[in-house]
Amino acid sequence: MVKISPSLMCMDISKFEEQINCLNQTVDYYHIDIMDGHYVSNMTLSPWFIEQLKDHTETPLDAHLMVTNPIEYVDQLLDLGVEVISIHAEYLNGHAFRLSETIKQRGKKMGVVLNPETPLTIITDYLHLIDIVTVMTVDPGFAGQTFISESLDKVRKLNAYREEHQLAFEIQIDGSCNEKTYHTMIEAGADILIVGTSGLFNLDDSIEKSVELMQGHILAAAQTK
């Protein structure tokens, strides 16, 4: 089965403990969007949120840095025990080899994020260092956007590149992961789906029912791959 990573910027913060306690039993990662209002115009979660979350879960955390100076966050996030640090390719270039050594010395994973317009060629020189490649199927920064189907071509190319070069990175999709798109995402080669409003949190008022519905949608999509 494909792995699941809920985007916690989409959760109901007023029901934080209830939702986290339920999700802890079923998900593989938590996706934490950190935005500074500069790289993208929105502002959401922060390292402070991660510090609070760690008291409620042992699920691995994936910090997605949508900030203008992501390198400055790395040591703080490692100290907080974040499992994956995901940086947009435009900012990772020029730092990838050094950061990979720093992150992996702490036993953690390095991720790279590709915007819809970012070509795969920009990361191929250091793709062997990457643990998770996140392909954005929406523009970064806001929930509830229209799915950009052209991004799936990038997923297919990554899948083929991984097989050709015998690499082990996982392919993660961020954006409009829901019942309408699961099948094509899994078919293209996605290993991890980041689910948000349309894929999880808005399916039902009950988080338990929402998880049940999400799992059914994904199972149905995987069976028709």
pLDDT digits (tens, 9 = 90+) for 86-128: 999 999 999 999 999 999 999 999 999 999 999 999 999 999 9
**pLDDT score for 88:** 95
- 191 assigned to active site: no
pTM for this structure? 0.93
**pLDDT score for 47:** 86
Q: From CA 133, how far away is CA 101, in angstroms rounded?
A: 17
For residue 214, the enclosing domain spans: 3-223
Tokens coding 65 = 């840095």
pLDDT digits (tens, 9 = 90+) for 29-40: 999 999 875 544
CA separation, residue 90 to residues 118, 121, 153 (Å)? 8, 12, 20
Average of per-residue pLDDT across 164-177:
96
Give the residue, 58 or 1, on which the prediction is more confident.
58
- 12 assigned to active site: no
**Mean of all residue pLDDT scores within the chain:** 92
Q: From CA 26, how far away is CA 2, in angstroms rounded?
A: 12
Closest-CA residue to 88 (of 115, 128, 121, 125) = 115
Kindly name the residue from 62, 131, 174, 191 that is annotated as catalytic: 174
Strand 30-35 versus strand 109-114 pairing type: unpaired
CATH number for the domain that contains residue 10: 3.20.20.70
Q: What share of the chain in percent tops pLDDT 70?
A: 93
- Sign (positive or negative) of CA dihedral 88, 214, 198, 177: positive
**pLDDT value at 79 more than 90:** yes
Count of structural domains, the chain:
1
Q: From CA 106, how far away is CA 91, in angstroms rounded?
A: 21
Kindly name the residue from 12, 33, 125, 191 that is annotated as catalytic: 33
